[in-house]
Amino acid sequence: MDLTTVEAAASTADPRDGLRTVVALHRLADRLEDLHVARARERGMSWADIAVELQVTRQTVHKKHSHPRGPRRWGNHADV
């Protein structure tokens, strides 16, 4: 989904299009979070440091990202 499509869906009168866009944006945000948390850990950032940046608790970020979650992990960067 490109930015033009997102902008159009945000102003659509059809709630189905808008809701599908919300789902797509949630998925994209999750994938971006996975990617950048993994990069942060690879570069030595602590769970506490990452939590500060994500504005969540250390426990929340550790629980969510301490174990690979399968297909949501980035394998192909072309998806974004």
- CA–CA distance, 15 with 34 (Å, rounded to integer): 29
CA distances from 61 to 9, 56, 73 (A): 31, 7, 15
Q: Is 29 within 8 Å of 44 (Cβ atoms)?
A: no
How confident is the model at residue 26, as a pLDDT?
A: 92
What contacts 51, CB < 8 A, 6 or more positions away?
A: 57, 58, 60, 61, 62
Q: What is the pLDDT along the chain (80 residues), one digit of tens a residue?
A: 677 877 777 788 899 988 888 898 899 999 999 999 999 999 999 999 999 999 999 999 999 999 866 555 544 444 44
How confident is the model at residue 57, as a pLDDT?
A: 96
How confident is the model at residue 20, as a pLDDT?
A: 87
How confident is the model at residue 52, as a pLDDT?
A: 97
Q: How many domains does one find in the chain?
A: 1
- CA–CA distance, 62 with 44 (Å, rounded to integer): 14
Where in the sequence is the domain holding 39, given as residue range(s)? Answer: 3-79
